[in-house]
Amino acid sequence: MMTPPGAGGALGGPPPAGRTLDDSQPQGQAAAAEPEAPAPAPPPVDLLDPRNYINRELSLLAFNARVLEQAKDPRTPLLERLRFLCISSSNLDEFFEIRFSGLKQQIALGLAKPELDGLSPAATLEAVSQEAHRLVAEQYRVLQDVLLPALEAAGIRVVRRQAWTPAQQEWVHAYFSREVLPVLTPVGLDPAHPFPRVLNKSLNFIVSLEGSDAYERTSGTAVVQVPRLLPRLIQMPPRVASGPHDFVLLSSVIHAHVGELFPGMRISGCYQFRLTRNSDLWVDEEEVDDLLRALKGELPGRNYGDAVRLEMPVQCSPYMAQFLLAQFKLPPQELYKVDGPVNLHRLSALYDLVNRPDLKYPPFAPTPRPALDIFEQVRRGDVLLHHPYQAFTPVVELLRQAAEDPNVLAIKMTVYRMGAQSPMAEALIGAARAGKEVTAVVELRARFDEATNIDLATRLQEAGAKVAYGIVGFKAHAKLLLVVRREGAALRRYVHLGTGNYHTGTARAYTDFSLMTCEERTGEDVHRLFQQMTGLGRVVQLSKLLQSPFTLHARVLELIEQEAAEARAGRQARIVAKLNSLSEPGVIQALYRASQAGVQVDLIVRGVCCLRPGVPGLSERIRVRGIVGRFLEHSRIYYFYARGQELTYLASADWMQRNFFKRVEIAFPIVDPVVRQQVLEDGLWTCLQDNVQAWDLLPDGTYRRSAPTDAAPPHCAQELLMERLAT
């Protein structure tokens, strides 16, 4: 096994200063001189000092800034750079819909209690607003100054209105008349036509007019709402295009011909705008009788929540900007003036419309597994899969074969995100229709997947499956699949446990681990978990799995403290964890104490990290890094040296308050030495060596991109794993 970096030739971190692993005096060495009086101990560090924590919301924005950096990186293929720009934009949309709107709600409700970092909701909102404005300005600078010129140099153009040739103008007008005009409904504002309801994140135009219409109305202002069914990016045909990849924006098409919507009137101003609304759903689960019905009723309202952000072009008139801010009851700082289309994410359509493999990542095919009986494979020994480098197909096969196998009596599964067109969903429905005992714990509150999960739950019920919606007050986030199969005179349980979702699409884009096993105690634990989620009863003790909200948090704290005790005793100690987010105060403080005791702590955190590493006297033995690359780093791995036992867990849970206390989560141990080595080598050690796509968190809360040196040649973890594991 490769030794992790910084381990001094062993997995454990270095012993406390002034000690070796053997305190005995070497033979033949002269007695040391009388020791000097020890230096006075430094004052103890206050673990609750707000300066020792990073604001959660600012940390999340910093992650989006790192995603945006991928769009600037010339080493990344050009169309992939555009895709990263669009991802950073859609991430920011979700930030406003959920996190920003949550801060505004806290302020409105008078919840002024500061977080660990000391910032009140109002102060956080102000800091976040400043950083979000900076991030948006940088997104559009990258678009206009970097990506659009580079795309044009590569023969891909988004042609501005001012650059249309006469032939292009004629074609655009014909397109507008044929495809756009028939579905537009302008609304002139007057007492009989109040300001229309504006859909969340939809494209709209505010138009100022001069003159009077056929009914002598002179209001002077109209709104044009653009239906979502219209494509936002339109390819010009070869007969008018200057090259094979010329496009126009729908906003440009409408802007050029908006006068046709108001015959006889003069257009004095036309500005696109987009409104972002609070999109968090809230249902009082203790008061409703049917969670599915309640959520289904709430979904349409998501598009019309409270306004939180207004986007308009930089050239918009101050009057129109103020008019819209007043209409949506927004303060001036929630206006974002942009130099380009108001929805950058729509440009992602270019990626699929342009067939230029030379401007995309090279094709990648995950390693397939032999087409054997999946039950036979698992009986031979635990099967570990590392997605997307290894195919998700065996997991799909486990469910498909279980659905068709006459010896399978029961299938139980948690569903958090599965996708609308899912082969796993079809297999589960097929099993129910075949008369098998099918139980599905469907998490209806998986954000932005509510409609898909409601539809799946309904279809499963119609097929005869037993459907539960998790537990009131706790999201069912654990990834569990249990198959009960008759083999001879006995029943055997086959189990799949994962760090990711049962979504075949994300399995090709997210890094995750899957474990398939028929180990008896694991199967019993999973059986007890399903009983707990669907029935009633007290907490049952699990043999191998750790579970939120009952045992996971306490056990993580216990394992951290055990490493600290080992370090204080002068023995090897080490903690390594790979997470999406780290924000739970108890765990952060435990890691601080471990660092003070001498434990070497390495954290690979993709997104939010509220821990401040490298602070003298507090966290100088803690290193935090995140990796942003071709695939979304999504797996959760916990490693503790544990006196050489190398306790290693895979988990569905990040180290966040919601994961520890408000969700049903699991962490499962990896016991088989060969399987454990694969998890450590591919999941941790290679990531700690990355100096191409890794970002190191500095004590001041900023990130610095790692870079190769003469002593450390380029090492890209994702590329290495593709070479090692994939075909």
Active site residues per annotation: 477
Report the C-alpha gap between 440 and 466 in whole angstroms: 6
Helices 552-568 and 585-597 cross at an angle (nearest 10°) of 10
- State how far the alpha carbon of 290 is from the alpha carbons of 293, 443, 498, in Å: 5, 13, 29
Instruction: Give CA–CA dist 629/80, Å, rounded.
Output: 10
Residue 431 in tokens: 């099993």
Are β-strands 510-517 and 546-548 bridged in parallel, bridged antiparallel, or unpaired? unpaired
Give 599's DSSP letter.
-
What tokens appear for 33 in the block?
């001189």
Residue 207 near residue 219 (C-beta atoms within 8 A)? no
Can you read off the two tokens belonging to residue 607? 């997104």
Contact 328, 487 (CB under 8 A): no
AA letter at 311: E
**Which of helix, strand or coil describes residue 246?**
strand
Here the contacts of 694-700 (C-beta below 8 Å, separation 24 or greater) are: 694/625, 694/626, 694/627, 695/66, 695/625, 695/626, 695/627, 695/628, 696/623, 696/624, 696/625, 697/605, 697/609, 697/613, 697/624, 697/625, 697/626, 698/613, 698/614, 699/612, 699/613, 699/614, 699/615, 699/619
DSSP code for 506: G
Q: In whole angstroms, what is the distance from residue 251 CA to residue 313 CA?
A: 12
697 DSSP β-pair partners? 703
d(CA 551, CA 558): 10
Q: Within 10 Å of residue 318's Cβ, how many Cβ atoms?
A: 7
With CA atoms as reference, report the closest residue to 254 among 277, 268, 234: 234
Residue 413 has which token pair? 């599964």
Distance CA 74, CA 84 (A): 12
CA angle 535, 536, 538 (to 5 degrees): 135
Cα separations (Å) of 514 from 83, 385, 389, 536, 651? 28, 5, 12, 29, 10
Sign (positive or negative) of CA dihedral 421, 360, 509, 628? negative
- CB 627 within 8 Å of CB 718: yes
Residue 335, strand partner residues: 310
Enumerate long-range contacts of 340-343, CB under 8 Å, 24 or more apart: 340/140, 340/143, 340/144, 340/313, 341/232, 341/249, 341/251, 341/272, 342/203, 342/251, 342/272, 342/273, 342/274, 342/311, 342/312, 342/313, 343/89, 343/201, 343/203, 343/232, 343/274, 343/311
The number of beta carbons lying within 10 Å of the beta carbon of residue 162 is 6
Beta strands in 349-504 (DSSP E): 383-387, 408-415, 437-442, 466-468, 475-476, 480-487, 490-498
